[in-house]
Structure 1
Amino acid sequence: MNQNNHYMPYNEEEEINIKEIFQTLIKGKWIIALSFILVTAVTIWYTFNQTPIYEASTQILIGAAGNQTAAIFDIMTPLGNSQMEINNQVEILKSRSLAENTIKNLMENYSPDSLYILGKGQEEKMESTLNRVKNWILFLGNRGTEDEELISSREDTIRSLAYTLQEAITITPERNTQTIRISIKSPDPKEAALIANTFAYEYYKQDLERSRGAMSEVKSFILEQLKQVEERLRVSEDSLRTFQQREGVVNLDEASKNLLDQLSNFESEYYSAMAELEINEQQLKYLTRELDIKEKELLNNFIQTANPLILELQTKIAKLEASVVEAIAKGIDENAPQIQTIKVQMDKMKERLNQETRMLISRGYIPGPSDPLSINQSMLEDVIKLRIGQILLQSKAREFKKLVDHYSKELEKLPQVIITFTRLERERLVNENIYMLMKNKYEESRITEASQISNVYVIDQSVPPKYPVSPKKKMNVLLGGILGLGLGIGIIFLKEFLDNTIKTKEDLVKKGITTLAVIPEIDEMKTAKKARSVNNTEVSQYQSRLITHFDPKSPVSEAYRSMRTNIELSGVDKSIKSVVITSAGPGEGKSTTISNLAIAFAQMDQKTLLVDTDMRRPVLQKVFKVPRVPGIADIITGTNTIEECIHETSVENLYILPSGNLPPNPSEMLGSKKMREIYQTLTEQYDKIFFDAPPIIAVTDASLLAKLCDGLVVVVKSGVTHDEALDQVQNIVQQIKLPMLGAVINAITPKHMKGGSYYYYYRYMNYQYK
């Protein structure tokens, strides 16, 4: 017969059906609900057991002092430079050194048990361990190693706590402003505010120290020089006093006194200039160290390739300085109009020199490409000013040195006693003048240092926050619920994706296999109860599957009758008289299916025979409570006749031929000539014959029988039979060209249904005969 009507390839493109997706979610509703409840419950437990975290913030303003300086010198500060300065300050705020300073401050003022940031008792634990180590080292007598280990352990602790602080702190520049927000998180709101304020204070202190760095260094240098000059002044005074007492020299004549006064004044000016040069050099060293590579390159290029106008101004100022010195040497009073006029000219030239210097710096005066925005203009300007001042002071010192040398030679013409006296008196006067100069410079440096202000201004100090920033309970529970739903849906679709079993009629259609029937799952307990009510006897587990006999009005029985009709209609050329029932694998319900199908035919007054040809795992004798021996195997071997082996059942018109003695070679027996003769005899005696064959993939028994019979039916268990197994069945059918009538889906449940199939299943299962 033509079997192409029962096996047609499915060439339509698979489409995603929204109804199928929705139905998949409905089927997995319990998994989704369980996932939602579990994840939400875990989230709630975790959230409400978390330690509340509070966040405190301090806001600071950067560049207040720098802006004032720029305003004084009329320098425009581009936005890019301001932004770069903010970025630099952010990196400083993130530095390890600042975090360590904050930790040291906290450790000095608070006990470890009072602050979470300090480890809540970890300090004591560390000290206890260190004490044990200390005692052990003392026992060995190695004190040097003990001190090193104690210092090393403390440094390690500070470094570790500083890292913890860096992790807990957040530095956020405010957009389009020069303000930065410092935020710190802590389990204690008061601690969060304390750490934020301490951190801001340490940053302010560090910036102030950096601002006062140059002047502090100069002040220390001047103080050291002042002590030395004071000692030299004391020694010179003692020497002069001793000489006067020994030689009896008290006063000088007028000429000698004038010569001494002039020489002393010039020497004072010379040493004052040299002292200022040393102070200048100290400032220059400090500021040069603070310059970066690009700024040092700019400075060197400025010095080497200075603007001709600047060089000319420097030369003119030096000449004017020499003129002042010469005028003073000639005895002209320093306050005389002539000298004052020269000084006014010098001041104007110095101001112009400063203006030219600032202009060159603001333009980034470096031969080749440069970026003036990346230059610290204020610091570089100070360095260049000091360089120019250094040149002018050197010029001034040279002029006064010439006068000192000249008057020293004049002094040598006096008598030896006068020379010695004037030398001692001169040393005293010079040291006294230098001492007064250094003392004035020291006071100036103190005032200048105190006047230096920080570049940082604390806008708002932190206060203890009232509410924690985490955990965000409502948000966490909401996210937990969403995650639970997502996880449940993900599990459902993953399960669906990994599940490659045949479930519905649509799966068979996609493979081009005719669906003869869709059999719902049998409720064996309900069927057994129905059987007891009919026969007043207990039925076995196997007998409870005979639903078409015990509950003929049930939807499941109706499904078997539908299968019966479809098989009858499958015979286009001739009627279907003999059918082989098989499956892809064991346990898929072929024996249950063949039993109920045979009953359905018997109920139509057709003489029906059930033949158990599964000679490996026979079951039908248990279903119908007949002896297994003798059976078909004994007929083939000639041990018994057909009449001796066939048994009547409790179902009218239904007969059963059991398997008989289990042979070692079932396939050879079923493929034998004797089997064909038996088959021919049986077809003459019965209207319908159904052969229960073993799984077609495992052995060839079903294939051999199908060659004899009119048709082959494959039982597919919903949710059990794998897609690959059914492909193998199709390959066998195609290769051997077996007369496959189609397949029946067995034990289908609502969870295996899709879309419209579920709707019809629902209507079908709820339909009852009235």
Structure 2
Amino acid sequence: MAQYELNLYDYWRIVKKRRWIILLTIITMLGSVAVYTNLQTPVYQSAATVKVEPALAILGLSAEQMAGGFDLYMALNTEVKIIKSALVAERTALKLKTIYTGIDEVAKAAIISSIQGKLSAERMGDTNLITITALSSDPTETAKLANMTAEVYIEKGIEDRNRRARELRQFVEYQLIDAEQKLKTSEDGLRKYTEKTRSKGIGNYIATRLLDLQARKSDLLKKYTGQHPEVQRIDQQIDSIESQMKQLPTEELELARLLREVKINEELYTLLTKRFKEAQIAEADHVQSAFVVTPATVPTKPIKPNRMMNMAVGAFMGVFLGFIFALVMENLDTSIGTIEDVEKYLSLPVLGIIPHMEPDGSRKKLWSKSSPAGPEQRIDALRSKLIVYHSAKTPFVESYHTLRTNMKFSLPKEKGNIISFTSAGIGEGKTITSSNFALASAQCGMKTLLLEADLRRPILHRIFGLKKDPGLTDCIIGTKKWPEVVNGMTDFLMSELNMDNVLQFPGIENLKIITSGPIPPNPVDLFNSPQLSRILGELKNEFDIIIIDCPPALLFADPLIVGAHANASILIYKAGRVPRAVLKRAKDQLTNVKVNVAGIILNDITSSDMEPQYGYYYYSYKYYENRKNNV
């Protein structure tokens, strides 16, 4: 493709042109995805949900303390990690009997790692629910693994809770024994001192009052700060009592101290006794800290592979890659497929557009490239493309009249204009195009000569059903004069052309044909003969227009030599057949020897090869013709 910006129509044209590549890519992708999906091992998923109640009551925390000082998020994340731990996986494997006593440590580690890989756990939102998910190729194993993991986790939770309760009870018990001993010691000291001093009176009252105020202050500080009026008032009372105690005798002060010590030890002993009983209750209580809310069930469908999703992705990737491949192939394709491409790339005008002509049923196979038909049948197929066999109302015939009109304004206004027709390669339709152009010129009243100068592969005479000898080569070597080798109306009627079509074709009497004649060993030497120039000079004086069918310009030097004698040379191009570099090279070879390349004729163009305006013309003309025929 030429390098220019693509518009929407260009993309649509590329899609139509490369639709088989896109379709093949889609089918390939879908087939690959289907095979890949079928080869995948199905994966089933099952999940059990457990509710976790953090066991904090055994720590002696109140509900307010639990709500304010305990991080539930952190605790539940810890539980999630416990569920996914190797310890839980090992106990699960033991219960499932996948590991046993005496198993090799390496194998044991592999089994535990495999179970961990099949399990996942996560907290459900902001709740205290944890989902335990298991994956496996066996649906029954999936549900069993999830449920067994939940069971192991709950059992481990009970063990951990009981262990913590036992440890707490033992700790409180040790503290209680120590407090009891301290209380007994302080009471014995007070008793002995009282018996010794027999002191009674104001000292006992002051000491007791001081202890009460200090206890009251401690309670208030739990609610208020030291600046609170009530706390400050108690501080003043404590200061007052302490001042009074300083004024007491030494015996009274010692008694007050002993009383205070007994009071403190009594309160500590009472508190620890309460905590010890709570710890005993917690140790005896076997309530679960976690329990199953929703057990795992055996799944009926695998979660992988997702066939619908895979096929949808495969279809999308097929369309996407197909379009990419189409664009890449279009960019890598060296052929030129649009009118705009030709004009921009070669800097030559498009003089005519010959549309693709659909054959009738009897000739469709003959026109096919893969047809097994012989040479005669192929010639018959080519002959059927002559405009003498087609109605003048068809776009195919009309395109030649348009070409003739364009050429009329491109050529000098003189008698005997010589036009050579050539192409870059073989099979582009130059012979049929030059023949039909000659017929169209004759039809409009011009005295026309069609000259077969393709001495490499002469086929024009066979299309018209004429004899090859004598012909052009006889004239050049001097064995014949050109009037002796000219074929006219009589020859057409005696040829293999259909007589009715010939007689009904207007202007057929204006057409004359000179065939190739015998094939020389070296056509280049023949065309370099001065006789060719002399013969063409004579023909210019006799005919209004001379049309020369030449061999491909890139394969042979003949068109370069003949084209130098012509007023204009025309390149025939069949869309998409010849690489653009080849077409450009053919044009350059002609211009390098000063051949006047007047333009390009696009041959065998379909609607998908045309720009929108040309396609619109093609269908509009065809529609007009059909409507007219139906009137």
Q: TM-score, normalised by structure 1?
A: 0.55
Note the alpha carbon deviations across 1:561-594, whole angstroms, 9 max, x for none.
Answer: 3222221221255467111111122222212212
Q: Summarize the alignment of residues 230-379 of structure 1 with structure 2, pairs less than 5 Å apart.
A: none
Instruction: Output aligned runs, 1:57-72, within 5 Å.
Output: 57-62=47-52, 64-66=54-56, 69=59, 71-72=61-62
Larger deviation: 33-42 or 508-517?
33-42
Q: Residues 180 and 579 of structure 1: is their aligned pair in 2 closer, same or farther, counting only changes over 3 Å? A: same
1:623 CA drift (Å):
2.5
Distance 2:36 2:279 in 1: 61
Instruction: State the match for 1:460 in structure 2.
Output: 294
Q: Per-residue displacement from partner, 1:418-451 (whole Å, max 9, x unpaired)?
A: xxxxxxxxxxxxxxxxxxxxxxxxx999986665
Shift of 1:637: 4.8
Aligned partners of 2:134 and 2:142 also within 8 Å? yes
| Aligned CA distance change for structure 1 residues 618 and 163 (closer, same or farther; 3 Å) | farther
Matches within 5 A, 1:213-612: 456-464=290-298, 493=327, 495-511=329-345, 512-523=347-358, 540-546=377-383, 547-553=385-391, 554-572=394-412, 574=414, 577-612=417-452
1:759 equivalent in structure 2: 616
Contact 1:631–1:661 (CA under 8 A) maintained in structure 2: no
Deviation at 1:84, TM superposition (A): 4.1
1:180 has 2:180 as partner:
no
C-alpha deviation, 1:460, in angstroms:
2.9
Q: Is the 8 A contact 1:552 1:558 kept in 2?
A: no
- Structure 2 residue runs without a partner (length 5+): 194-203, 223-276, 367-374, 493-507
Partner of 2:578: 721
| 1:203 pairs with 2:193 | no
CA contact (8 A) 2:132 2:146 kept: yes
Match of 1:165 among 71, 93, 118: 118
Distance 1:704 1:67 in 2: 111
Q: Does 1:107 align with 2:97?
A: yes
Aligned position for 1:655 = 513
- CA drift of 1:743 comes to 0.9
Residues 597-639 of structure 1: per-residue CA shift (max 9 Å, x gap): 2222233454433333333333324323445556545554556
Supply the distance in 2 between the matched residues of 1:211 and 1:755 (Cα, whole angstroms): 82
1:16-57 CA deviation, whole Å, 9 max, x = no partner? 13x454555566677777877887788789989998765432
Distance in 2 between residues matched to 1:326 and 1:526, nearest whole Å: 127
Q: Cα 1:213–1:672, aligned 2, differ >3 Å: closer, same or farther?
A: farther
2:450 is aligned with 1:615 = no
Say if 1:610 and 1:654, in contact at 8 Å, map to a contact too: yes
Q: Partners in 1 of 2:386 and 2:448 — Cα distance?
A: 15
Retained in 2: the 8 A contact 1:189–1:465? yes
SS in 2 for 1:542: helix
The change in CA–CA distance for 1:763 and 1:217 in structure 2 (over 3 A counts) is same
Deviations 1:310-354 (A, max 9, x none): xxxxxxx99x98896598699969xxxx9xx99xx9xx99xx9xx
Structure 1 residue 745 displacement after superposition: 0.9
Q: Check the 8 A contact 1:527/1:545 in 2, yes or no.
A: no
Moved more, 197-206 or 466-475: 466-475
Q: CA deviation at 1:194?
A: 2.6
| Conservation of the 8 A alpha-carbon contact between 2:411 and 2:568 | no
Q: Using the alignment, how far apart are the partners of 2:43 and 2:151 within structure 1?
A: 23
Whole-angstrom distance in 2 between the partners of 1:526 and 1:596: 22
Alpha carbons 1:629, 1:661 under 8 Å: kept: no
Separation of aligned partners in 2, 1:634 and 1:79: 118
Distance of aligned partners of 1:64 and 1:217 in 2 relative to their CA distance in 1, 3 Å threshold: closer
Distance, in Å, in 2 between the alignment partners of 1:622 and 1:70 is 115
Contact 2:471/2:514 (<8 A) preserved: no
The aligned amino acid for 1:594 is S
Q: CA deviation at 1:717?
A: 0.5
**Separation in 1, partners of 2:58, 2:344:** 83
| Residues 191 and 751 (structure 1), Cα distance of their counterparts in 2 relative to 1, 3 Å cut | same
Native 8 Å contact 1:630 1:661 kept in 2? no
Change (3 A) 1:157 1:15: closer
Aligned to 1:697: 554
Contact 2:486 2:512 in 1 (8 A): no
* Letter paired with 1:684: N
Q: Distance in 2 between matches of 1:611 and 1:576?
A: 13
Aligned partners of 1:575 and 1:516: how far apart in 2?
A: 21
What letter corresponds to residue 381 of structure 2 in structure 1?
Answer: S
Distance in 2 (alpha carbons) for counterparts of 1:742 and 1:575: 21
Post-superposition shift, 1:479?
Answer: 5.8
User: What residue number does 1:394 align with?
Assistant: none
- 2:569 matched residue in structure 1: 712
Distance 1:700 1:568 in 2: 27
Which shifted more, 517-526 or 641-650? 641-650
Cα separation, partners in 2 of 1:734 and 1:644, compared to 1, 3 Å: closer
**Residue 16 of structure 1 pairs with residue 7 of structure 2:** yes
Cross-structure match for 2:607: 750
d(CA) in 2 for partners of 1:217, 1:576:
123
C-alpha distance in 2 between matches for 1:737 and 1:172: 84
Tell me: CA distance 1:743–1:448, structure 2 relative to 1, closer, same or farther (3 Å).
Answer: same
**Inter-partner Cα distance in structure 1 for 2:588 and 2:620:** 36
TM-score when normalising by structure 2: 0.65
Which amino acid is the alignment partner of residue 183 of structure 1? T
On the 8 A contact 1:548/1:560 being kept in 2, the answer is: no
CA distance in 1, matches of 2:61, 2:414: 111
- In the alignment of these two chains, the number of paired residues is 529
For 1:267, the equivalent position in structure 2 comes to: none
Q: In the alignment, residue 542 of structure 1 is paired with which amino acid?
A: I
Distance (whole Å) between structure 2 residues aligned to residue 162 and residue 625 of structure 1:
87
**Quick one: which amino acid aligns to residue 155 of structure 1?**
K
Cα deviation code 1:351-395 (max 9, x no counterpart): x9xx99xxxxxxxxxxxxxxxxxxxxxxxxxxxxxxxxxxxxxxx
Question: Structure 1, residues 697-755: CA drift from partner, whole Å, max 9, x if none?
Answer: 34443233222211011111012233333333454455555322211111112343443
Structure-2 change in CA distance of 1:667 and 1:152 (3 Å):
farther
> Identity of paired residues, percent?
26
Structure 1 residue 644: deviation in Å?
5.8
- 1: CA distance, partners of 2:67 / 2:590: 89
Secondary structure of the residue that 1:65 maps to in structure 2? coil
- For residues 23 and 96 of structure 2, the distance between their equivalents in structure 1, rounded to whole angstroms, comes to 51
Instruction: Name the CA shift for 1:41/1:661 in 2 (closer, same or farther; >3 Å).
Output: closer
Q: Distance in 1 between matches of 2:95 and 2:464?
A: 94
Distance in structure 1 (CA, Å) of the matches to 2:583 and 2:67: 81
Q: 1:739 aligns to what?
A: 596
Larger helix share, 1 or 2: 1
- Which stretches in structure 1 are left out of the alignment for 5+ residues? 1-9, 109-122, 128-146, 223-271, 281-316, 357-442, 532-537
Question: Do 2:22 and 2:318's aligned partners in 1 also have CA atoms closer than 8 Å?
Answer: yes
Q: Does 2:544 align with 1:681?
A: no
What secondary structure, in the 3-state scheme, does the structure 1 residue paired with 2:554 have?
Answer: coil
Partner of 1:228: none
